[in-house]
Amino acid sequence: MTVKIVTDSTSDMPPELAAELGVTVIPLTVFFGEEAFKDGIDITRDEFMTRLTTGGVFPHTSQPSPGDFVEVYKKLTEAGDDVVSIHISDKLSGTLNSARGAVQELPNARIELVDTQLTSLALTLVVRAAAVAASGGATAEEVVRIADEASSKIDLFFLLDTLEYLSKGGRIGKAQALIGGLLSIKPVLKLVDGELHPHEKVRTRAKALARMKEIAAEGAPYEEIALIHELPAEDVREFEDVLRPLSKAPLLTGRIGSVIGTHTGPNVIGFALRRA
């Protein structure tokens, strides 16, 4: 009997990493009008960003259905294996609620659910820790404990170009307090208890980028860091050079996916900092 790991596409987990770890990623859906696209499957990041910024139709997102989870869980548990299903914050998405519905439909399957209170590559860091433990023979209960511990030690920061997309998408959370300065600030946000909170507001993009570097350095060294972005390559390299020396483990870098990108918009950078 082994433990199988499941997550969702808001993790922005690179497909090659998911394949390497044996993680099943259940996609959310992005809609542009009546057109539906499975996140990470039916639309590339470049195609999504082009539609988002020039298409004239604001997208919306939808969580997987309980049936989507049932299909995956049945396939993974039919040989008697356990499942640990690790997901985006319950306060940001109904994804976990769909997973709960699936668990109720499979009363004989051993399925554990984890609310990381995180998203994007911060979620990937938790999933990776859980998958490594599972591959080493950890029980489902041990994997859940490791996932919960990892979640509690990760701080997730985002620098957005604008709050417009968060506001339109209805995921603005406590950052609503910044909305009065929507056009005049560059908001630095932090995920706290699974919800977006305003961390700082900076008047210019250059000062905001510099402040993000300072924030990252304040708690160094870290066990590991993930860099999340939708930026030109030269800006990404600059941040990689800053973050790489701050972590004991190799830096994980990845682009924002279409679901998270719906709410952050373009020109976003963020990082997940996992404390020791």
How confident is the model over 36-48, as a mean pLDDT? 94
Would you place residue 185 in the very low, low, confident or very high pLDDT band (cuts 50, 70, 90)? confident
pLDDT for the residue numbered 171:
54
CB atoms within 10 A of CB 236: 16
Fold held by 154-274: Hypothetical Protein Tm841; Chain: A;domain 3 (3.30.1180)
**Least confident stretch, 60-69, 161-170, 240-249:** 161-170
Q: Which residues pair with 36 in a beta bridge?
A: 31
How confident is the model over 93-102, as a mean pLDDT? 98
* Per-residue pLDDT reduced to its tens digit, 135-171: 999 999 999 999 999 999 999 999 988 887 877 755 5
Which residue did the predictor score with more confidence, 142 or 200? Answer: 142
Tokens of 213: 């570097």
Sequence spans of domains, the chain: 3-28+63-152, 154-274
pTM for the whole structure: 0.94
Q: Is 107 helix (H, G, I), strand (E, B) or coil?
A: coil
How confident is the model over 205-223, as a mean pLDDT? 94
Q: Domain 3-28+63-152 class?
A: alpha beta
How confident is the model over 27-35, as a mean pLDDT? 96
How far are the Cα atoms of 22, 79, 84, 153, 156 from residue 195, in angstroms, in the given order?
29, 37, 23, 16, 11
Measured in Å, how far apart are the chain's first and last C-alpha atoms? 31
